Amino acid sequence: NAGVTQTPKFQVLKTGQSMTLQCAQDMNHEYMSWYRQDPGMGLRLIHYSVGAGITDQGEVPNGYNVSRSTTEDFPLRLLSAAPSQTSVYFCATSRGLTEAFFGQGTRLTVV
Amino acid sequence: AQTVTQSQPEMSVQEAETVTLSCTYDTSESDYYLFWYKQPPSRQMILVIRQEAYKQQNATENRFSVNFQKAAKSFSLKISDSQLGDAAMYFCAYRSAGNTDKLIFGTGTRLQVFP
């Protein structure tokens, strides 16, 4: 089992470019989330989904879009990248009230 | 809104010794879950231990144990017989028991282990 797979692992973008961070899980978990990790700030929730077709905003949603068309996939879209979006991004999944399982993260740099 | 506070940005311990990492949280809920996650330099987030708020007994996983004080809203992590591989960032996290996947994290404590 691969668990939670994030791609790419590293990415450099120019300001204004768009891109999609991919997250795929083979654990059949209904819950999926995206977090960003910044120095000194821990992890903060961007968007989350409680099932296919259902998404909601977290603590820091501005500048990001998500969709959940299948149980397995939960992509995060940056429509127009800004330097403030330089961060490490984590996708996480869970089933019900169990602990979250994280992908290996994507380090994104916006120049 | 719930908050999680880790007041120790850095801690250090000698190999084989014991260290305690502090975490406090604020919530008006009575039912919730608390977690400690470890993040080594590889960046991977690894679950260390989990505590259900309705359980009075403190959780234990091998060398890792917690001191859960519900009234004081405190959730500290004790690492016994510290090993070099324990060196990492440690994050305390809170999760409501409601129908949500939201984790609220503290800012982390960097643990150094000296031989």
Residues B8-44 pLDDT 10s: 999 999 999 999 999 999 999 989 999 999 999 999 9
Confidence of residue B99 (pLDDT cuts 50, 70, 90): low
List helix spans (H) across A18-94.
none
CA distance A102 to A91: 6
> Could you check whether the bond before residue B9 is cis, i.e. omega within 30 degrees of 0?
no
Q: Quick one: which of B14, A46, B96 has its CA closest to A55?
A: A46
Confidence of residue B79 (pLDDT cuts 50, 70, 90): very high
Using the 8-state DSSP alphabet, how is residue A25 labeled? Answer: E
The answer to whether the CB atoms of B107 and A40 lie below 8 A apart is: yes
* Both structure tokens of A48: 């989350």
For an interface test with B, the pick among A30, A31, A37, A59 (most B C-beta atoms closer than 10 Å) comes out as A37
Give the nearest partner residue to B105 out of A31, A43, A49, using CB atoms. A43
CA distance B71 to A59: 27
Contacts of B33 in chain A (CB under 8 A): 97
Residues A15-74 pLDDT 10s: 999 999 999 999 999 999 999 999 888 899 999 999 999 999 999 999 999 999 999 999
